[in-house]
Structure 1
Amino acid sequence: MSDSNTSYFSNPSHFILLGIPGLEEAYVWISIPFCTMYAITLLGNFIILLIVKMDSTLHEPMYYFLCMLAITDQVLSTSTLPKMLSIFWFNSREIDFNACLAQLYFIHSFSAIESGIFVAMAFDRYVAICHPLRHSAILNSHMVVKIGLAVVLRGGILALPYPFLARHWPYCRTNIIPYTHCEHMDVVKLACADIRVSSYYGLFVLICRIGLDVLFITVSYMQILRAIFRLPTKEARLKTFGTCTSHICVILTFYVPTVFASLTARFGHNVPLHFHILIANIYLMVPPMLNPIIYGVRTKQIRDRLLRLVTQKGT
């Protein structure tokens, strides 16, 4: 660092995203499933938003949170995939420094928002099953708005230090990022400074986003399961638990890839780089695609409304 030949530049004009090193010849084939997932994500989440807007019977807390999830999924996938496809199709690897910081902010903030929405959904299921007579009183429209604002503000505030920390560090190494998108640690690793503050803060956010949120969700479902097992008949237990299956499925599709990607990045030192990158992209693309499919298949109200829309257009 003290070498006189080392040139420092506080704000590089741009970064170079390499894409998936080692798989350049397969870019066209790799782009097909990613493009398909993106199209399904946009279409599926748009349909969810349309159905909830059109059907007044779905104007309930559960479906309001589902609409928040649909919007979050669209923003999260759109923040990464268009640039990824430009790399695959047009070899457009450059990304402006400020655009890179904006991208990493959107990735981390909306990931935290999505995690917070799952906590809100778990709370909704807890109130609906454990306190059914007070559900409308506890989760009234004002409370839903407050919860929604709290979730968005928490995600936005938690991710806000990321671009400021990345902009703060001096850069004197390469401006090449061997990924398809800008992640916080991948950017700050290029800095010529002690980046422990960024590393510790990233760990803190990970604990808040995964550790605490999973803890709250687990506690909610422990209370839900206790209430379900107290029901008198097996049919009642299955019917009540069925109202939670969609939520449980989307939680698993979000947290399992997230945890796997985090563990692979930290401990998979012998794993090929292209595998790391593919896992990181799958964790960003697969949950937003699966969420509307899961809710469309598993939620009777949405499924019935969708069938009515299709049959009306067909007649």
Structure 2
Amino acid sequence: MQIDFLGMQAFLCIVEQGGFLPAATHLNLSQTAVSHRLRKLEDSLGMKLLTRTTRAITLTDAGRALLPRVRKAMQELELSYDTVRQHAGSAPRWLVFGCLPTLATTQLSPALLRFAAQHPDISVRVLDDSIGEIAEHVHNGTAAFGVSLASSNRFGLDMDVFAEEPFVLACPPRHRLARARVVDWERLRGEPLIRISLPAGNAATIDDALGDRRLQFRWAYEAQHTSIALDFVANGLGLTVVPALSATKAPGVVTRPLAGPAVARHLAVVTRRGAVLAPAAQAMRDLLVVQIRDRLAAVHERRA
């Protein structure tokens, strides 16, 4: 059953204010609007609540029975409203943004520490999801922005490309390729390779770079997450190709640059079309961009 709160409000106000005109003034409505609300309530109940003469408003038996219940319901509603409003005033402020797991694992903590020092009153929720999920979070307003890949999306989000991240070979420290300055893809023929499946976006980037040559390699294992693939490498199951920043803290793994071809992905901040970020969100976005750029600069220096 649908509850007619506006009708009950009009009914209670007419009784307490002593008539339709004072009720209309109290509610900042026209007298016609108040009459319409009462009539709609009476129609839904199937009975009259008030009788009106030229001099007075009188409650019917049904009106007298309903009045105390309406008054109590409205008091409870006002109390609930005040409680929610007070909670909103004292509840912590939240900043929500999306970030690819391969970046969140290694790059978020330093930026978050700086943000906490600048904005100690703001709590942060990180949605470490896939490219498609981050786009959806930003589109529906769940996330203020997302740190993702520069790729097409069905939502038409704005893409601000801010860095190019190379892919690297990840191998155990004692593997023969660990001593190479740069590894050509041809040297990976016959090696057991670990593929990271499509949800992470890595496999598609590698496939696009290799073209038909990807069929010439031995993909011995497949994992859905980069962290799992790196664990396989550390335990000697094979080698994998990952974005450079995702392997910076992987134990038991060393990385080497790749060539013939070099593989890279473009990192971007995604926002709703034409959206202007709030100051705190803009600050978090800038800290992340600087953090990632600085780490990539360090990677390029080691390769030089």
TM above 0.5: no
Q: Which has the higher helix share?
A: 1
Which structure has the higher relative contact order (CA within 8 Å, separation 6+)?
1
TM-score by length of 2: 0.21
Q: TM-score, normalised by structure 1?
A: 0.20
Answer with 1 or 2: which has the greater Rg: 2
